Amino acid sequence: MGIEKDKSLLPYNSFHMEARAAQFVAITDKDQLKEMVEKAGGSILVLCGGSIIFFTKDVKGLVLKMDIRCIEEINEDSLHIYVRAVAGENCHAFVPYCIVRNCAAFANPSLLPSTLGPAPIPPLVSL
């Protein structure tokens, strides 16, 4: 998807504050993310789930909405499962993934209306 101009940010924040982005891109893969960051000539606002942002005015720069979704187990030892999850992955969807794998340490963010991008979690989930 290309750059959208003068995009409403109303559906992208849980406070439902009307604000507009001068430029907006929904990021769906890491190559697109890299390209948009390299092309950006000014400020960038990275927007994940929109639950911790309160818009008080329009955004004059580029807004990158993180829509990349991926969860993968990258390693496991006797005490830990190492999981990589990207910023656009939904917090509440990630909780059952962890519970099924006996990773209950991640249960705290359950029901957060957000994605993992801004989630206050450790990079490691214990068994």
Give the best-scoring range by mean pLDDT among 1-5, 22-26, 41-45. 22-26
**pTM tops 0.75:** yes
3-class DSSP assignment, residue 87: coil
Among 84, 87, 91, which residue's Cα sits nearest to residue 114?
91
What is the average pLDDT score of the chain? 82
Torsion-angle region of residue 92: left (phi > 0), alpha (psi -120 to 50) or beta? alpha
The string of pLDDT tens digits covering residues 31-83 is: 998 999 888 877 899 998 887 789 999 999 999 999 988 888 888 888 888 88
Write down the pLDDT at residue 126.
Answer: 38
Is 123's pLDDT higher than 60?
no
Among 122, 109, 125, which residue's Cα sits nearest to residue 51?
109
Is 110's pLDDT higher than 60?
no
